[in-house]
Amino acid sequence: MMLGQTLVEFVPDGQVVGRGTDFFPGSDWTPYQDLLDDEGRMVANVGSFLIRTAGHVVLVDLGLGPGGALLDNLEALGVAPSNVDFVVLTHLHRDHVGWTGAFPRAQHLVDRREWDYWCAHPGGVGPDPDRVLTPMARRVASLEEVPRGIRPIATPGHTPGHTSLLISDPDTADRILILGDLLHTRAQFAEPTWRFRSDADPGQAIRRRVDLLARYRDGRTILAGGHFSGDAFGESENENESESKNESESESEKNPVSETTCQPSITGQ
């Protein structure tokens, strides 16, 4: 998808399949059967967003890792691992950090609270300490380092430092909002109060989801979800025009982290 001079593509690594009610306990999928497969299961994509600007090659999130198709799919798009300048991570759940270590030149950017949380609570649904945290520590930096055209928006709840990313280009007013795991399925556009099974703080996740949907369903922002079934790029909604106040809010939404000295917090945890 072209955004001015910026090319944004979803690059699959694999899929995770399960019952909708397993992902969202208590959810009623009756109105959303078209989002399920023939056996009534939710097919969630896993992968990366590839952003190619005039100056940089950026990946957002790193899939499940070896055994997946991310590197092959990148190669098919003409991108070698050494071409990637930045990896930006929406959060550090294990289905978003799998290819850590595969991009030798890339600086890895993550919210400081997210980094600190998983350094203190490794494993489980979070990153493996030996395979992910230790190698990433050598090249991790704060989200303040993101290149132009990518704006982090703090959306905590799914994890403590979860971050969505607003992609823009000087040649167009259109934008792409990479939601991260703020939404896992298009059904959540109509059901923003569904709780995902592994949300760290479901209430906070719901508040941020409702807030972001109200603000960015503005007719010029395409909402993109890496776990959506099929096409990762949701339609640009034309609702809530009165909520279009995005530019003036940039400061309050920016990630407040200004320093990055994550490395020492890794060892001995």
Encoded tokens for 96: 């978003």
Encoded tokens for 183: 């939404």
Cβ at position 93, least distance to Zn ion in Å: 5
Total residues contacting Zn ion by CB under 5 A comes to: 2
Nearer to Zn ion (CB atom), residue 96 or residue 217: 96
Nearer to Zn ion (CB atom), residue 9 or residue 181: 181
- Rounded to an integer, what distance in angstroms lies between the CA atom of residue 195 and that of residue 266? 31
User: Binder to Zn ion among 9, 13, 95, 114 (CB under 5 A)?
Assistant: 95
Q: Tell me which residues in 116-155 interact with Zn ion (CB under 5 A).
A: none
Strands (E), the chain: 2-3, 6-19, 41-52, 57-60, 86-88, 107-109, 140-141, 150-154, 163-169, 172-178, 221-224
49 and 84 in contact (C-beta within 8 Å)? no
- Rounded to an integer, what distance in angstroms lies between the CA atom of residue 232 and that of residue 8? 11
Nearer to Zn ion (CB atom), residue 3 or residue 200: 200
Nearer to Zn ion (CB atom), residue 114 or residue 181: 181
Q: Tell me which residues in 186-245 interact with Zn ion (CB under 5 A).
A: none
Q: Does residue number 181 form part of the binding site for Zn ion (CB under 5 A)?
A: yes
Cβ at position 238, least distance to Zn ion in Å: 28
Cβ at position 21, least distance to Zn ion in Å: 18
Tell me the window of 78-86, 89-97, 238-246, 248-256 that interacts with Zn ion (CB under 5 A).
89-97
Sheet holding 221-224, edge to edge: 150-154, 163-169, 172-178, 221-224
Nearer to Zn ion (CB atom), residue 95 or residue 114: 95
Cβ at position 16, least distance to Zn ion in Å: 8
Tell me the window of 74-82, 145-153, 173-181, 241-249 that interacts with Zn ion (CB under 5 A).
173-181
Tell me the window of 15-23, 35-43, 131-139, 174-182 that interacts with Zn ion (CB under 5 A).
174-182
| Helix, strand, coil % in the chain, rounded to nearest 5 | 30, 25, 45
Tell me the window of 16-24, 95-103, 236-244, 247-255 that interacts with Zn ion (CB under 5 A).
95-103
Cβ at position 136, least distance to Zn ion in Å: 17
103 and 80 in contact (C-beta within 8 Å)? no
Nearer to Zn ion (CB atom), residue 10 or residue 168: 10
Cβ at position 181, least distance to Zn ion in Å: 4
Going by their DSSP bridges, the two strands 57-60 and 86-88 should be labelled as parallel
Going by their DSSP bridges, the two strands 221-224 and 57-60 should be labelled as unpaired
Give the type of residue at 269. Answer: Q
Nearer to Zn ion (CB atom), residue 96 or residue 215: 96
- Rounded to an integer, what distance in angstroms lies between the CA atom of residue 95 and that of residue 72? 17
Judged by the rule CB under 5 A, the positions of this chain that interact with Zn ion are 95, 181
